[in-house]
Chains A and B, each alone.
Chain A
Amino acid sequence: MRLYPPSVSLIALLAVLLANTAAPRSAEATSALALSVPEMAQVSAAVVVGTIGTSRQEIHPIHARPVTATVITVDRTLAGAAPPDLEIRQWRGTLNGRTSAIPGDPSLEPGTRALFFLRNVDGQWFLTALSQSVFSLGTETDPRLHRTVDLALFVRTPDGALQRLAEPLPVPATLSAMESALRGVTLRGEETTP
């Protein structure tokens, strides 16, 4: 148990509240490689800004898991190509009274406008790198992009070993900075299962 002075804890509480209202609500964490913005773009089919819409649940044909498909209405494509409306599929949902969510796969809150890095595999859309792929957009008074990464992130050392990431990788602070960061990056485009 750690005890903090009231002022510190109050600030922390406010920060948490603000983060929870501004960003798509994050779920849990899993283990993944930390990807920079260019790296994430290189394995994506599109980088878009859109608004989270309704979702529906289906059952995965092979693993019989609940899958949630959430509509994203795209109003801006920063890189790659994407249709005006697309569905992001995530392995989460409730089936027969049991709820499951893949740790680190963010919960997409309807009505929230955000920036997404997306893969397209066999015609279906997925987040490129779980919660690393979603940035909430700033407000008029604070136009900065925000990202809540609740993955356990690893990087490779020069000799190839895995090492936990100690500090967040730098990300563009604003939408225009993101566009600049994506300029010149070749996206992977649509993939097909081998």
Chain B
Amino acid sequence: MTRLHLPHPLGAAMLVLAAIGLLLPAAAHAWAPLTSCGGGNYTAWPTGNPHTTWHYSTPYPSTDLPLATVMTVLEDSFVEWGTPGCSAFTVEQGPNTTQDPMGWNSTDAVGFYENTFPASLGSGTLAVTFPSWDSGCNLYNANMVVNGYHHTWGTSGSGNDLQSVVTHEFGHWLGLDHSSYGDSTMTAYYSGGTGDRTISCDDTDAVCTLYPSGGTSCDTNDDCACGVSCQGGWCGGVVAGDDDDDDDDDDGAPGGSCAGALESQGEQEPNNSHSQGVFQSITSAGGDLTISGDIWCANNGQDWTGDVDWYVIDVPCADQVRFTADWSGLLASDIDFYVYDANNNEIVHNTEEDYWGPASAEGYGDTQLKAVVLCWSGPPVSYTFEVDWYPWGPGDFGDDDDDDDDDDDDDDGAPGDDDDDDDDDGAPADDDDGSNDDDDDDSAAPGPVADFVSDCSCSTGSSGGAPWLSLLLIPLLRRRRR
């Protein structure tokens, strides 16, 4: 799991609110770090992407659950801690290991003790995490052992639900101690409210303090700090109204600094092989970018051998973008995507096994994004890959002109845009700036239509493909984790 989140204008507002809170008589959180080194320096994994990589210990498997089930549970439990938009915590599953998950020198191993369990922990212990840290409060390693010797494990409401326990244990893994907040995953006495598998607002507060991203996106109130509600996909919501410009921030300022025309290129479909020789230009839609593709899936049990779709997307400013990959309808297909920056540094990837999306991520798209979509197994599948330029609004993929997520500026929630101006009266007229063009972007320029990229450093020859692609595909081909 990897999620990247971006600062958002609301993040600044939240900081202001937090600062105001500091002036009030008492501001308290219930969560606690494993230990503190003073000065607000708590035990945490050092900054990195990922912060931590965990490894399944194959000599210590569960005898109750199939391997695939265990893997899914472990990954879902880790992912839960990266759910809040304010959390930058990133974790990744690494190659399996043969290390003893109880060993002092083991490196971030997870396993089940099925044949014995240490007397020092007691038979009532369900699972235990062994974090170790240095004098600077940097977590050095962590290992986790599930007690399969005294307890039988399952995955649902009956029996011992592994995910309920493991989600809590991974809280220790990322540096948390117990919490006195009743609904916290990390509390001793859990008074309910969010379910054992999901983190609470207090847990969100904790993970976002240890691993702050500055983001404020959310799916539920529990993705926000306690007392802050999730409104329209953002903690604290967004300002009501619409300022009729070309973004969704309603701040009265013209559209975002990335409102320029898009210049992008990608593989031309159909192309269902390794060959990347055919290019196409990609036309923007309403200022944002939506790419559709079809992909064939194949692997030989070890390496990926199938189709790969790739895109070079020029970002017309040094600013942020948000991107998402979405595929549906063919749930048996296992799709991955990777996004790199102009220097071929990975921004984000999604390689969850048997994952069918949708997947979304946010990241810095300074000057250029390079996206690769590939499929490991399953039937051919269609997908969309969307890029939304900062500043964006809730649910705004493919639509940059309003904030009620339809295609106009009236914020009434009804669909419809007459594509001439901002009044949606059907008559051709102004553009709020008198430009009389046919879009809503408040500039005198015609509506955005992308040209074939002209300043891209990539080769556009008919046989060579992008040079960065061959570099990236080498690790991709060998990356598989089965």
Contacts and interface: CB of A to CB of B under 8 A. Distances in A.
A144 interface: no
B190 interface: yes
A49 interface: no
Interface stretch (A50-58, A108-116, A158-166, A174-182): A158-166
Given A2-B227, A91-B120, A166-B189, A160 B159 contact: yes
A170 interface: no
Interface string A146-166: 000111111000011110111
B267 to A, nearest CB: 47
Contacts of A127: 120, 122
Given A1-B227, A100-B130, A126-B120, A63 B103 contact: yes
Contacts of A95: 104
B139 to A, nearest CB: 10
A78 to B, nearest CB: 19
B126 A154 contact: yes
Contacts of A37: none
A143 to B, nearest CB: 24
A184 interface: no
A99 interface: yes
Contacts, number: 192
B190 A165 contact: yes
Interface in A66-114: 66-67, 89-91, 95, 97-104
A33 B227 CA distance: 31
A162 B190 contact: no
Nearest to A154: B126
A102 B187 CA distance: 16
A150 B188 contact: yes
Contact of A63 (B102, B123, B188): B102
A166 B27 contact: no
A117 B129 CA distance: 23
A27 to B, nearest CB: 8
Of A5, A97, A149, A164, most buried by chain B (CB within 10 Å of CB) is A164
Contact of A66 (B104, B134, B177, B191): B104
16 contacts: A2-B27, A2-B30, A9-B26, A29-B177, A30-B127, A30-B128, A30-B172, A43-B123, A64-B103, A64-B104, A66-B104, A97-B135, A152-B187, A152-B190, A165-B188, A165-B189
Given A103-B129, A152-B185, A160-B158, 17 more contacts: A2-B227, A3-B21, A3-B24, A3-B28, A6-B26, A27-B177, A29-B178, A30-B125, A32-B125, A35-B124, A98-B132, A98-B134, A99-B132, A119-B119, A133-B122, A152-B165, A193-B119
Interface of A: 1-6, 8-10, 12, 26-33, 35, 43, 60, 63-67, 89-91, 95, 97-104, 119, 121-122, 124, 126-130, 132-133, 149-154, 159-162, 164-168, 191, 193
10 shortest interchain CB distances as A-B pairs: A9-B26, A164-B190, A121-B119, A29-B178, A100-B132, A150-B178, A33-B124, A6-B25, A31-B126, A65-B104
